[in-house]
Amino acid sequence: MKAIKRTEPLLLRGSMVALVTPFKGGKIDKRALKKLIDFHVANGTDAIVPCGTTGESATLSHEEHTKVVEMTLEYVDGRIPVVAGTGSNSTEEAIQLTKHAERAGADAALLITPYYNKPTQEGLYQHFRAVAREVRIPIILYNVPARTSVNLLPETICRLTELKNIKGIKEATGDLKQIGDLITLCGDRMTVLSGDDFTTLPILAIGGKGVISVTANVAPRDVSDMVHAYLRGDEKDAVALHTALWPLHKAMFLETNPIPVKTALGMMGMIDPELRLPL
């Protein structure tokens, strides 16, 4: 597909949706994907993140993965940024997926820490360094130890800021002390985004700039309003929205993500609530 050229810099802030991948009959549902994208553009979502955990990237073939990224960019058509999930536990595979995202016109790439391998901190540094050296687009790191069995530590993250295109991190440890240490150590060299809807407001309160959200799939306007209320200094409104969203956050994680969020979107008539095994 033709790459979309964007003149303004990507703003790593606000409400970014960890988009589900809609399926129908075992295949990607293109019509539902377009419907979801229009829904987010109309309801204040600041960026769309396809092919992450919520997008069932682990069960997408390479062909499907690249196709979802391309279709998302085509349907978004430059209206808001697209941050393509391109992570892998294979460094070479992560490089190839990230190169594809760059060629397709993605505004940035989201790279999860290598899962299953359980690399050392030096191994994590070398993995991300190898990817960053092969592309020019901004890279957002993704730290979610509950899924990967490895924790990217603040000292390693700060070391990675030496690489000019590593710009941010999606932090899903749920550990505010570790996130506070990260913000203290790195300052404005690393933009911190919440990767856990429950901790979005606390992370904003200690210096974070936004969220890559599961809940935003079903309530994009409310999540966006909560984040932007805090960022513009309306703490009372932000707390009220955070409190109102709390039961929905809990519902989104009653079972393994994205089982609940796809069920909810099916109830809303947005998609067929089809999942891939083993979910």
Known catalytic residues are 142, 170
- Check residue 175 and give left, alpha or beta (phi > 0: left; psi -120 to 50: alpha): beta
At 97, which helix (H) or strand (E)?
helix 91-104
> E-assigned strands of 106-179?
108-112, 139-143, 166-171
CA gap 42, 91 in Å, rounded: 36
Strands 166-171 and 27-28, bridge-based pairing: unpaired
For 78, the token pair is 């430059």
The size of the chain, in residues, is: 279
> E-assigned strands of the chain?
14-18, 23-24, 27-28, 47-49, 83-85, 108-112, 139-143, 166-171, 191-194, 210-213
Q: How far is CA 213 from CA 6, 36, 98, 120, 168, in A?
A: 24, 14, 21, 28, 15
213 beta partners: 17
18 beta partners: 49
